[in-house]
Amino acid sequence: MGNLRLAAAFLALYAVLLLASGLYYLSWSGDRSELLQVVLRILAAAVVAWGLLRADRWAWIVGVIFSALFGVAGLFGVVGILGTGQLQLRPHPAVDLAFLVTCALSLLAACVAMVMPSAQRAVRDRTEADTSS
């Protein structure tokens, strides 16, 4: 159960970072076009984190897919932004880079925590306990 809690904490960190970033971006740009996408990702991370704390199988499956997909996409995004020089167009490039890297790493850390044998065992034990009762 410890690795599931750790994965839930990393997903919660990701949600908090997204919230802070979304509010910051909205404050300096006024652009609301990305707001729905940010809110949906925050909700998805929060719901999966809640499910992981309960050791639900659906949360483990969705969490592994969600964190792996968005974590790898985040790393590719960092490489792409660094390669094109677009980061320099932002008001605070160092802060933005730190945010992007932290988001990607928190998702990948959540994924690693979920695929650890002890996390898989906790989900399997919970599933077996639910089916036997």
Q: What average pLDDT does the segment 94-115 reach?
A: 94
Q: What average pLDDT does the segment 104-116 reach?
A: 97
What token pair was written down for 112?
A: 């690693």
pLDDT at 1: 67
Residue 36: burial class (beta carbons within 10 Å; 0-12, 13-18, 19+): exposed
CA dihedral over 15, 20, 24, 30, signed as positive or negative: positive
pLDDT at 49: 97
The domain locations on the chain are 2-128
pLDDT in tens, 42-89: 999 999 999 999 999 999 999 999 999 999 999 999 999 898 988 888
